[in-house]
């Protein structure tokens, strides 16, 4: 399986459309969305092209290919619009024996790791992208944000396939890659 992993779209339809373009061009099988899909939150500015209903229309059309978890800006009202589950704080995927933990980062994340062993932890929340191998060999990946990047970083997303995690900017340029 080939996954596009992203977080922190915060309601920007043009950003989602770019991500979905990469999803198609890179022949991904599944979209792993790890929080803050429709709302921008009180600490962020209003994103360019804000259109939560447009986002829902695009994503509901591919709901069977989405695995999502809740971010700190996602709500029960958002879930009412979505044809895919959005309200779990975390979920697990096992891909060819690799244990993948998906979470937004406000409950579990780099500063509060889950107790169970994982091979990869994907999170967002801080909008600071990186791929880091821990001392125990596990890998922590922050997907950054394609809408509100922080720390001077570009807008980003991640591709995961066959034990390789790759961080891309929104234009499709590879920024960092790590083989498990």
Say what the pTM is: 0.96
Closest CA to 150 of 51, 45, 30: 45
Write the pLDDT tens digit of every residue in 6-62. Answer: 999 999 999 999 999 999 999 999 999 999 999 887 777 888 899 999 999 999 999
As a whole number of angstroms, the longest Cα–Cα distance in the chain is 43
Write the pLDDT tens digit of every residue in 139-153. Answer: 999 999 999 999 999
Hey, which CATH number is domain 2-179, 3.40.309.10, 3.40.50.970, 3.30.2350.10, 3.60.21.10? 3.60.21.10
Query: What confidence score (pLDDT) does residue 40 get?
Result: 85
What are residue 176's DSSP bridge partners?
A: 167
Write the pLDDT tens digit of every residue in 105-141. Answer: 999 988 899 999 999 999 999 999 999 999 999 999 9
């Amino acid at each position: 399986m080939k996954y596009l992993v992203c977080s922190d779209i915060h309601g920007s339809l043009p950003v989602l459309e770019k991500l979905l373009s990469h999803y198609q061009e890179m022949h991904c099988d599944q979209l792993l969305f790890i929080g803050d899909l429709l709302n921008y939150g009180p600490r962020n500015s209003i994103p360019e092209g804000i259109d939560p209903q447009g986002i829902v229309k695009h994503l509901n059309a591919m709901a069977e290919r989405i695995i999502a978890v809740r971010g700190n800006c996602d709500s029960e009202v958002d879930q009412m619009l979505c044809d895919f589950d959005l309200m779990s704080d975390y979920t697990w995927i096992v891909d060819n024996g690799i244990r993948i933990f998906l979470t937004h980062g406000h409950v579990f994340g780099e500063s509060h790791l889950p107790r169970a062993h994982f091979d990869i932890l994907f999170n967002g929340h801080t909008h600071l992208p990186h791929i880091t191998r821990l001392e125990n060999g596990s890998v922590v990946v922050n997907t950054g944000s394609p809408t509100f990047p922080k720390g001077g970083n570009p807008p980003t997303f991640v591709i995961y396939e066959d034990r390789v995690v790759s961080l891309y900017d929104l234009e499709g340029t590879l920024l960092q890659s790590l083989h498990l």
